[in-house]
Structure formats: C-alpha cells, structure tokens
C-alpha cells in the first residue's frame, strides 16, 4: 500500500511522520521542497509534482487549506487521468458543499473519495491522538480504518459532507469561545480584578472550557509565535461556516463580529500568528 500526502505543513508533517513510523510506503509532496527534506531522510519518497505523487500512490491524503488548493493539484487536465482507481482522503477543513463537489469530480474521473477532517493540533498530530471525523460510506470507513488509526481516533459520522459540517461547527466554537474569553479577560484586567481569582471562579463554573487555560498565558504575555493554528486559517474556516449558515437561513450575526475581529487581527500583520492574537485586537 503506497500512501501519498500532499501538503506537509503544520499538521501534514507530523502526520507523515506517524505513517512512516507505522511502516507505510510514503510519498510526499509540498510546494516548498525544503519542508519535505526531513521526511526524505526518514524514508519517504519525495515527488517532484502532484502528478508524480498521484501516479505512484494507491491512496492520497490531502492536508490542504481550501478547495482552490485541492482543485489545483487534482483537477488540472493533465492530472485527472491519474485519478482512476485511486482513493483520495481530504483531511483539511473545507465546506460540506465543496467536499461534495470534489467527491463528484473524483468519481467522474474514476477515483474514490472520502473526507476525514481532524480535530486537534500539532501535539495531537505528533502523538497520534487526533479526533478524526469520517464522511464516507460505511464500507469505505472500514476499508481505511487501520490507516486512519495511525493518526488518531477515527469516528464514522455519515455520508460525505457530514464530517466537513461537523468540523466547521467545532471550529466556529474555537473562534467564538476564544473571542468571548479574550473579551472577558481584557475587561477584568481593565477593571483591576485579579486574574487568578477570575480564573479560579471561572474554572469552578459551568462556563469553563479547557481552551481558556490553553490560551491564557499567550494572551497575558501577548506571545503568539509558533502557532498550532494560525489566524489566517481560523478566519478562513469562519468564512466557510458563515457561507454555509447563510445558505441555511441561520442567524449568524454573532459570528460576523468574530469575523471582524479576526480580519482586524490579520491587518495587524498577525496572519501567521496563533489565533489567540485576536486578544491584541480586542485591547484598547
């Protein structure tokens, strides 16, 4: 079984390492070739082009940021003939609508498709403890279960589109919870309330979410380097959620405010910083 990974960035790289450790024949591709050199040294084959990776892989894992990136590596006319008989697993965060469109195009090209977005960040990717949400048929889920188990804990959600929708719902909570926490934290700071007392009461209440403590020190120190999840990606996912929510007729006006804060944070030059940098935008 030859597994290909297209996209060896923050998440794709440790996932590739996990598959190498599990003994899979791995082929990798990244536009920035320097990012794959450590994987070559660890035993992976480095493809010079997406076409080369697709041609030599049985299953292709995609860790790409959006539909445009996926289309650029899968659906160029010279690549499509290579998709016949291949299985493509999209593991990045895209919209349910986009995931269904990609499925349709891959099936048309004679390939197979499922979605398996992940919840977790770099530490979970390294440890192989990602929560993996799978949108597929039950037969596909069983077929690729052992592969996905190398990366984390796969859970069958339903047909293609359902896992993508669940992932966007969870990322909407990341954006909303972090913004709400940053606002309250800044408010009590400005009012002179002891931060430890604030956190003690918060931790002992039904309002508490563990993500608050994960981001507390970053916010207090305004240290947003070495992100597990950058501002630009959370903004992208927030926009995807809003697009789907509007189509469904949901009132997502609260999230529009979160989006504005993320956009302002990006304009401050913090696009590649940890998303907790939105705290800086909230401050006066």
Tell me the three state secondary structure of residue 44. coil
Q: If DSSP states are collapsed to H, E and C, what string results for 73-111?
A: HHCCHHHHHHHCCCEEEECCCCCHHHHHHHHHHHHHCCC
Task: List, by residue number, the catalytic residues.
Answer: 167
Q: What is the DSSP letter of 121?
A: -
Residue 217, both tokens: 């020190």
Listed in sequence order, the residues at least 6 apart from 98 whose beta carbon sits closer than 8 Å to its beta carbon are 66, 67, 164
Using CB atoms within 10 Å of the CB of residue 126, give its burial: 0 to 12 exposed, 13 to 18 middle, 19+ buried: middle
Tell me the three state secondary structure of residue 273. coil
In 109-208, which residue ranges form alpha helices assigned H by DSSP?
122-127, 138-143, 145-149, 162-190, 195-203
């Amino acid at each position: 079984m030859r597994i290909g990974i297209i996209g060896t960035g923050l998440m794709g790289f440790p996932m590739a390492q996990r598959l190498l450790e599990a003994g899979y024949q791995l082929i990798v591709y990244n536009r920035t070739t320097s990012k794959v050199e450590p994987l070559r040294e660890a035993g992976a084959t480095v493809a010079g082009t997406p076409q080369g990776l697709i041609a030599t892989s049985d299953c292709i894992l995609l860790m790409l940021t959006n539909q445009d990136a996926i289309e650029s590596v899968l659906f160029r006319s010279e690549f499509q003939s290579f998709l016949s008989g291949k299985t493509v697993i999209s593991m990045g965060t895209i919209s349910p609508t986009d995931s269904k469109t990609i499925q349709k195009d891959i099936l048309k090209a004679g390939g197979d498709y499922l979605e398996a977005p992940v919840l977790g960040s770099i530490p979970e990717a390294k440890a192989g403890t990602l929560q993996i949400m799978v949108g597929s048929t039950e037969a596909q889920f069983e077929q690729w279960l052992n592969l996905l188990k190398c990366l984390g804990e796969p859970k069958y959600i339903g047909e293609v589109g359902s896992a993508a929708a669940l992932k966007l719902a969870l990322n909407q909570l990341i954006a909303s919870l972090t913004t709400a926490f940053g606002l309250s934290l800044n408010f009590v700071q400005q009012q002179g309330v002891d931060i430890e007392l604030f956190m003690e009461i918060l931790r002992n209440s039904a309002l508490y979410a563990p993500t608050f403590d994960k981001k507390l020190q970053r916010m207090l120190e305004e240290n947003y380097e070495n992100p597990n999840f950058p501002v630009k990606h959370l903004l992208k996912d927030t926009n995807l959620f809003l697009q789907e929510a509007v189509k469904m007729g949901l009132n997502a006006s609260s999230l529009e405010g979160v989006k504005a804060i993320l956009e302002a944070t990006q304009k401050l030059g913090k696009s590649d910083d940890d998303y907790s940098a939105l705290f800086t935008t909230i401050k006066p």
